[in-house]
Amino acid sequence: MSVAVIPFRPVDPKTRLSNLLSRREREDFAGAMLADVTAAVRGAGLEPLILSTHPFEWPDTLVRVADGGLSNAINGLLPELEGPVVVIMADLPLVTPDTVRRLVGSVAECAIAPGRGGGTNALLIRDPAHFRVDYYQCSFQKHLSAAKASGLSVEVIDSFRLYLDLDEEEDLVDLLIHGEGRARDCLCGLGFSLAVTRGRVGIVRRRLPGARAAAQEPPAKLAERGE
C-alpha cells in the first residue's frame, strides 16, 4: 500500500490564530484537521504516516518524530519508502478522498499541488529514492525546478481543496462555508459561525453556555472576505 507522509506539529500549532484561539484550542483544532486529512488519505487507499515535531500518538497510525527541520526529516524518510509516495500537509481541512485520488491518479512522475504564497501543499513522488524536497521560501517553484532538472514529467494539480491550507484568520470563512469534516465541527463547537455585515462575509464567536471567561478570551475579531 502506498504511503502518505503527513508532517504535523502537535504542540503550540497555528500561532497565527492566537488572537482567536487559546493554545489548547489551537491544539484541538490542529488535531481535528489532522483527522480530516488522515481520513481522506485512508479513503483514497493510502496508509498515513505522521511525521511529528514532538512525541505524539494517533489511533491506528504510525508516527515518527521528525529529526531536524521539515525538509531534512522528509528527505531522510523518503529513501526508506517504496513509491509512489504522497507528502501532504496536515492543515488541509477541505481535502476529501476524491481529492487525494485525483493527485495519486496523475500519470506524471511528480505531481505538485501548490498552496498560497508559493508553498507546496501536496506532492506525489513516484520514485522517492531519487527526489529531494525543499520546503519554505516558494517551495512550489523549487519542487517544480527540481523535478524538471531531474528529467521527471510533472503535473501541477489545480485544486481548491488542496490549495486552502488553514493558517490565517480569514481562512476560517472558507472552512465554515465549504468544510464538512471534523475541523468544521471543532470550529462550530468553539462557538464560531458565519456573519454577513454590509455585504461582506466574516466570522463571529458566541460565548458558549457555562464556558469560563478565560476560555473565550481574547474575543474573536471579525475575519472578513469580500464577495
- Give residue 196's pLDDT band: very low, low, confident or very high (50, 70, 90): confident
The set of cell numbers assigned to 178 is: 465549504
pLDDT tens-place string over residues 33-88: 999 999 999 999 999 999 999 999 999 999 999 888 999 999 999 999 998 999 99
- Give residue 200's pLDDT band: very low, low, confident or very high (50, 70, 90): confident
pLDDT tens-place string over residues 155-180: 999 999 999 999 999 999 999 999 99
When pLDDT is averaged across residues 180-188 and rounded to a whole number, the result is: 97
For the cut 90, the answer to whether the pLDDT of residue 208 exceeds it is: no
Beta strands in 53-115 (DSSP E): 62-65, 85-88, 110-114
The set of cell numbers assigned to 35 is: 483527522
pLDDT value at position 135? 93
The set of cell numbers assigned to 91 is: 492543515
pLDDT value at position 113? 97
pLDDT value at position 116? 87
Q: Do 126 and 77 meet the contact criterion of CB atoms below 8 Å apart? A: no
Domains of the chain: 3-163 (3.90.550.10), 171-226 (no CATH)
Please work out, in degrees rounded to the nearest 5, the angle formed at the alpha carbon of residue 94 by the alpha carbons of 90 and 97. Answer: 85
Mean pLDDT over each residue of the chain, to the nearest integer: 90
- Give residue 219's pLDDT band: very low, low, confident or very high (50, 70, 90): very low
The set of cell numbers assigned to 25 is: 484550542
68-75, long-range: CB < 8 A, 24+ apart: 70/7, 70/135, 70/136, 71/132, 71/133, 71/134, 71/135, 71/136, 73/7, 74/5, 74/7, 74/133, 74/135, 75/132, 75/133
Place of cell 483527522: 35
pLDDT tens-place string over residues 117-154: 899 999 999 999 889 999 988 999 999 999 999 999 99
The set of cell numbers assigned to 144 is: 517544480
For the cut 90, the answer to whether the pLDDT of residue 222 exceeds it is: no
